Amino acid sequence: CPCARGLATPTSIMVGTGRAAELGVLFRRGAALQVLDGVDVVAFDKTGTLTQGKPTLTDIELVPGQTEAGMLALAAAIEAQSEHPVAKAVVAAARARGVPLSQAAEVTAVPGQGVSGQVGGAQVLLGSARFLLAQGVDLDALRGRGAQLADQGKTPLYLARAGRVLAVMAVTDPLKPEAAEVVSALKAKGLTVAMVTGDTPATAAHIADKLGIERVEADVQPEGKAEAVARLQSGGQTVAFVGDGINDAPALAS
């Protein structure tokens, strides 16, 4: 009877979306439900999505002649004005060790790459290898150690002052306890699971291996996440993207 279908469809949608809302999942429009049924790939942002978004500083490697306290003071000085989770990890580590924070001026952050500022009349840089190399800093003294940290699933941050690299620090963002289970459940439904991250390929590969994720788009800057989604969509694949809505806004919109 057509009337039965006419009643069953809206009733099931109301029940389904109501239960989803109780779990914190909101559907903007009915078409999203229809499209979701045909998804081939579920792509996850990493930080704050698969991970807890609460990184901690785990390692500090120095060039000869430098001290851990001195390097933490420099790094925390230029990170103190930022709300980024990595910045909070650096500042928290300095405070936990009783390191007084220096004063920084002209602090500038480059999303997905790093931060710079003036401390004691010298330029201080903290961020990815790409960020420091773009500023003309030679990383050879610590590049090997940074690669080892990345192979362990940690995110290396290089610190330089006046154009000279002085330390490499590493932060680790623990995975959410349910992340592996979610990935496994999606794969059991026949879906391809991908991860899109700004981390180095080595760091991303370590995390993907722990979660059982086969496809990884690594070293992706915030403005490049929409392009990463487009690559996943190639061949007519329908992609669902899961992110925190800040750096991920363009990818979510696409």
Residue from 220, 230, 219 nearest 150 by CA: 219
The label of the residue with tokens 């420099």 reads 74
Annotated catalytic sites, by residue? 45
Q: How far apart are CA 48 and CA 86, in angstroms?
A: 11
* Structure token digits, residue 198: 């700004």
3-state class of 198 per DSSP? coil
DSSP 51: B
Spatial separation of the C-alpha atoms in residues 197 and 5, rounded to whole Å: 44
- Count of beta carbons in the 10 Å neighbourhood of residue 124: 22
Who contacts 225 (Cβ-Cβ below 8 Å, separation ≥6)? 45, 196, 243, 247, 248, 250, 251
d(CA 209, CA 215): 10
b/e 193-225 (16+ beta carbons within 10 angstroms → b) = bbbbbbbbebbbbbbbeebebeebbbbbbbebb
What span, in angstroms and rounded, lies between the C-alpha atoms of 60 and 76? 13
Q: Give the C-alpha separation, 74 to 91, whole Å.
A: 10
